[in-house]
Amino acid sequence: MNGLRKGNSRKRASVRALGCRLNQYESSSMENRLKNKGYELVPFGEKAELGVINTCTVTNEADGKSRSVIRKFVRTNPEAVTIVVGCYSQVSANEIAMIEGVDYVIGNHDKINFLDYITEEKPVDPVIVRDRISREDFSIGFVGDTNYLQRANLKIQDGCDFMCTFCIIPFARGRARSRDWNDLMTEAKLMLKKGVSEVVLTGVNLGTYKSEKKEFLELIHALSKLNGLKRLRISSIEPTTIPEEIFGLMADPSHCLMPYLHVPLQSGCDSILKKMRRKYSLSDMNQFFERASNKIPNLCLGTDIMVGFPGESGKDFEKTCETFMEFPFNYCHVFTFSERDGTPAAKMDDQVTMNERRQRSAYLRRLSASKRMAFHESQVGRELRVLIENPKNQQFSGYSDNYVKIILSEGFEEFSNKISRVKILEARPEYVVGQWVKFEN
């Protein structure tokens, strides 16, 4: 498939990523493959000859959103080749194939290499490619020129073995497997060569990384030694997989590992944690978070909490709120429990009414907003190290080492992609306002 129209004008293609950070990373890889096949990339929603929808299936609502996006693309581009890939494709391929206008349905095992399966013309009937997902180490590889921003995601792992009762991911993305060490290090070096200052490790269950007998902590050490890496950040990571040796690295201001942890607790009530089939107790987590907070100065600690899980009583929810306020969390992402077909939780008795779930979610979000604001207020007067990003609408911003979003009171082009000292002047609910002081040596 040469990706060229008659008269050598370039075919247009667009990619839409739904859901998680991992999907965003993988969609960028798909865009690079399209560019190197001669396609012109256009924003999703514009006219195109080929469209790729990278789907999410974490909830029934996510399935519905995926279907809506697929139908919208087909309505706008009825003659285009429509390719649906990702998690929803893996677990519900036949359902997707029944949507009018869909040409290819490709599961997670083959989605990065989707171009190997499609032809220039629309097929008569939808083609389904959905192989069993291997547990072997995987490689992504690189083709042609790859563009990165100052802060770039690096996929190190996929899949999960934990089998929580609310989660479909082990079926959608397969069981835990790691990225080939050499393939991973090759991309990391390429990122730095392209000017990336901050690498964000991403995956489904990061802490379970193991390739060539090298585990997560060894990966941290290896990446931190690469020339040109200014910052290394861990995205969401399961609490029972975190090696506590990283606390000392995060506490060292000269080390590139940033003092930030986002650890999904999911509930602040032991009985609900047990029903979720989580692998820890609140006592375990309280001690763990206290050690982290005591060891790492000015640590930003975030969490995920699910509200309205089956059997969650009013007292259980109150306990979760108390836990959130007592633990050293600076914010939480609140998720309203949504039945996901195919998971044990969807079949459990004692489902909480949707109205009650929404009320509880709104209350916990208010608590989170109060803790985030208090954390922002604690930063006022400090000088923080900030990676200043390219301006948007002539406004300069960036994130501190501990992942506080900072808007500069004024900025100049030479600030972009530079680590700077910024004095925090004012706290606001979603960000803080700072004044540039100097470039960091």
Per-residue pLDDT tens for 5-18? 444 467 999 999 99
Instruction: Reply yes or no on whether the pLDDT at 191 is more than 60.
Output: yes
**H-helix segments, 194-313:** 216-224, 245-251, 270-276, 282-295
The size of the chain, in residues, is 441
| Helices 216-224, 181-193: crossing angle, 10 deg rounding | 30
* Band (56; pLDDT cuts 50, 70, 90): very high
Indicate whether 2 pLDDT > 50.
no
Under a CB-based contact definition with an 8 Å cutoff, are residues 53 and 115 in contact? no
In which region does residue 342 sit, left (phi positive, over 0), alpha (psi from -120 to 50) or beta (all else)? Answer: left
Burial class (CB in 10 A: 0-12, 13-18, 19+), 17: buried
Cα distances (angstroms) measured from residue 217 to each of 199, 226, 360, 416: 16, 15, 38, 31
Percent pLDDT > 90 in the chain is 86
List the 231-234 sheet strands across, edge first. 151-155, 198-202, 231-234
Domains of the chain: 6-129 (3.40.50.2300), 151-375 (3.80.30.20), 383-439 (2.40.50.140)
Q: What pLDDT does residue 143 have? A: 56
Sign of CA dihedral 278, 109, 39, 12: negative
Per-residue b or e along 180-203, where b marks 16 or more CB atoms closer than 10 Å to that residue's CB: bbebbbebbeebbeeebbbbbbbb
What is the C-alpha separation between 170 and 55, in angstroms, rounded? 16
Per residue in 155-186, pLDDT (tens digit) is 999 999 999 999 999 999 999 999 999 999 99
**pLDDT classification of 234: cutoffs 50, 70, 90:** very high
Let me know if 69 is exposed, middle or buried by CB neighbors in 10 A (0-12, 13-18, 19+): buried
Any idea what DSSP says for residue 125?
S
Closest Cα partner for 83 from 40, 50, 109, 116? 50
* 304-348: pLDDT as tens digits: 999 999 999 999 999 999 999 999 999 999 999 998 889 999 999
Per-residue pLDDT, averaged over 142-148, amounts to 65
Q: Region 80-109: what's the mean pLDDT?
A: 96
pLDDT band at residue 144, thresholds of 50, 70 and 90?
A: low
Summarised one tens digit per residue, pLDDT across range 270-314 is: 999 999 999 999 999 999 999 999 999 999 999 999 999 999 999
pLDDT for the residue numbered 255: 97
Amino acid at 32: N
Residue with tokens 């939808």: 126
Backbone angles phi, psi at 436, to 5 degrees: -60, 135
CA separation for the pair 379, 244 (Å, rounded): 25
Task: Give 423's strand partners.
Answer: 383, 435
Which range (59-73, 128-142, 320-334, 345-359) has the least confidence?
128-142
Distances (CA, A) of 234 to 36, 355, 366: 30, 35, 26
Q: Which of 46, 11, 19, 41 is nearest to 29 (CA)?
A: 41
Average pLDDT over the chain reads: 93
